[in-house]
Structure 1
Amino acid sequence: MTTLPQYLGDLGYDHAELRAAATECGRILHELGPVADRDDDRAARAARAHHAVRALRREFLRKHLSAVYLSATDNLRESLRLSELAATVTTQFPGLLPEPGQLAADASAVQAHKEGWEIDQGIFFHAVFSDPVAGDHLLDAMRRPTSRAQALLPDFETTGRITLPAATLTRSGHAATITITNTHCLNAEDNQHVADLETAVDLVLLDQQSTVGVVRGGEMTHPRYRGKRVFSAGINLTQLHRGKISYVEFLLGRETGYIAKILRGLSATEPDEWPPRLHTKPWIAAVDTFAIGGGAQLLLVFDRVIAAADSYFSLPAAQEGIVPGAANLRLGRGSTSRLSRDVILWGRKIRATEPEARYVFDSVVEPDTMDAEIASAAEQLAADAVVANKHMIVTAEEPQDEFRRYMAEFALHQALRLYGLDVLAKVGRFSAGAHR
């Protein structure tokens, strides 16, 4: 692959050239053997092969992204989620994305021994989100209710309770409360956690009998925190080390899925209905003990954050080595640019009783009064005019176009960060030490 093909601007011709180059790259990588067995020379040859085909993929997408997306979505008539879009494009345009067998091989390896095909996915989604038409269409598709939630909705409407592996959902009065129950890992986020939170958020937004959503951590079984509630310990670094954190379903899916739904609501299934109906609700976050990493990111989209006086939040992105979701977009806007840098780049931990906590925690109360404070907030947010005003606040603060542009950069740079040598070293040390 020393001589790169030249694209002519014709979709068929350019795709044939790309497919041939991707096939050659796969052949070279196969000859070089598994990542774990490569010496420095073979690793360098693999890096050159990846670099060549990734450059071609980026150039192809610069020229043909719109045609690719329109083909995959039947001229925007089909609303495909991230994974559905990737699968369809893989079938229609072989060579543009990694093959299913390549992704499956990586999925079975620890992070340090993966080929790194998620970077190629990052190149693709960077191009999609960079395009206003394709990017907005995909974001709208991601905010449609999941089929899993729609299947569970009748049961929830009848019983007012749903139990999922990593969360439970209960309705009481005005509020539908999601309790995070990933207790074995202090509510750290993994693929199951993201899937269950999106299902639960969908159910809250679809439920006609509640007007306010609440998210709170459940009681822990961990010896150090047994019997105490914990909001979130952030991304599960052990799972990241083991290669079990999905780039598409977790890292992209949580931002464009349940977090976007908490902020913006569900996308309208009938956009021409009159009068237009806002498929959103106000949300309360209740923080016990701590909200670390992804947990702190989550707080930035809530309408009211209630914190126990002995709790804190932190975003240890510099220590973990990855990008903390959309916190880089939202924390500085809601506080100050200096505080954002202090927390994200410097790793500052902010306790609920510090003055700066007010930028994230709206209300700080004693731990034994959390329930009463949550109930009072839910009562106030149940007012009729809240939904329309929330919609207008979100429209002013973070238009979807601004979020789309952020996600374009996030999609690429988060994929690259997953394979940074510092990340691989850090998650390896964490896994060895935390579970020894």
Structure 2
Amino acid sequence: MSEFSDIRAEKVGAHLLRITLDRPQLRNALRTQTLAEIAQALDGAEADAAIRAIILTGGPNVFAAGADINELAAHDAVSIQTDARPKYWAAIRRFPKPIIAAVNGFCLGGGCELAMHADIIVAGEDARFGQPEINLGIIPGAGGTQRLTWALGKSLAMRMVLTGEMIDSRTALAHGLVAETCQPELTQERAQAIAEIIAGKPPLALRAAKEAVLKSFESGLEAGLAHERKCFAALFATADFREGVAAFRDKRRAQFQGL
């Protein structure tokens, strides 16, 4: 059972953790406490070797409609410099295990930025993505301008950030923001199915694969290729590599242990 108030964190089977944003009366608006609790839940999941993947969701009706505006309004140009939220965003960004986001309904502002911290997004056909911060006289502050550009390209990212307009899940899929779409009532099921497939893979290789893919966004091609090769070679020293090869030769299912 969850020990948190803004989220629910619960194990699903032996290897998955589901984190559900749980402020439905405020459409899951993200306040500092919410981000702190997500970071805390992920910290616990990182320390738990049994947990191999995370499902992140806001529930069946809305993912998160943005940041808590009342909390933002209490800041000024001085106090925002010491805001605690960046450290929680950094903790979410550094989490090394795969995160699969299940998105229904509004996924806006900080909610869109949170979803983009996931490694795979499954979106219901009712999902709407947007960065409406421009309407408040500010810009996205948790990576929205950067991650949207990576995923969508300059032109569409510019349109979303400069106009504050939303895009639907079909557009998000066509431009690479989400991995797949489905009927809204199936979003949770599809995200869990993907997470279960991932959880059956070798944990050390999963960590290295996530790190290598993310590296492509953080460095040039040559540096990314060098990092990939380093990770590739290191995995040859693992017991899971030997098990994978043996299972392939024996025509059986591999039993990966994260060693």
Same fold (TM over 0.5): yes
Q: What does the per-residue CA deviation read over 1:233-292, in whole Å, with 9 as the maximum and x for residues that have no partner?
A: 111113333459x73575xx43443x3333332xxxxxxxxxxxxxx1000111111101
For 1:101, the equivalent position in structure 2 comes to: none
**1:353-432 alignment runs, 5 A limit:** 353-354=170-171, 358-382=175-199, 383-384=201-202, 385-398=205-218
**1:4-403 alignment runs, 5 A limit:** 161-173=1-13, 174-218=15-59, 228-243=60-75, 247=80, 250=83, 253-257=84-88, 259-265=89-95, 280-325=96-141, 326-354=143-171, 358-382=175-199, 383-384=201-202, 385-398=205-218
- The percent identity for this pair of structures is 27
Letter in 2 for 1:231: F
Residue-pair matches, total: 213
After superposition, the Cα gap between the structure-2 partners of 1:203 and 1:229, relative to the gap in structure 1 and judged at 3 Å, is farther
Asked if structure 1 preserves the Cα contact closer than 8 Å seen for 2:32 and 2:85, the reply is: no
- The CA RMSD measured in Å over matched residues stands at 2.3
Of the structure 1 ranges 176-185 and 346-355, higher mean CA displacement relative to structure 2 is found in 346-355
Letter in 1 for 2:40: T
| Distance in 2 between residues matched to 1:206 and 1:249, nearest whole Å | 28
Q: Which has the higher helix share?
A: 1
Asked if structure 2 preserves the Cα contact closer than 8 Å seen for 1:168 and 1:181, the reply is: yes
| Distance in 1 between residues matched to 2:196 and 2:86, nearest whole Å | 28
Q: What does the per-residue CA deviation read over 1:12-38, in whole Å, with 9 as the maximum and x for residues that have no partner?
A: xxxxxxxxxxxxxxxxxxxxxxxxxxx
> SS of the counterpart of 1:376?
helix
- Report how far residue 342 of structure 1 moved: 0.6
> SS of the counterpart of 2:197?
helix
- Report how far residue 214 of structure 1 moved: 1.4
| Distance in 1 between residues matched to 2:64 and 2:177, nearest whole Å | 15
Q: Which has the higher strand share?
A: 2
After superposition, the Cα gap between the structure-2 partners of 1:306 and 1:358, relative to the gap in structure 1 and judged at 3 Å, is farther
| Distance in 2 between residues matched to 1:370 and 1:344, nearest whole Å | 26
Asked if structure 2 preserves the Cα contact closer than 8 Å seen for 1:317 and 1:345, the reply is: no
Asked if structure 2 preserves the Cα contact closer than 8 Å seen for 1:299 and 1:360, the reply is: no
- Report how far residue 358 of structure 1 moved: 4.1
Structure 1 unmatched runs, 5+: 1-160, 219-227, 266-279, 400-436
- Report how far residue 194 of structure 1 moved: 2.0
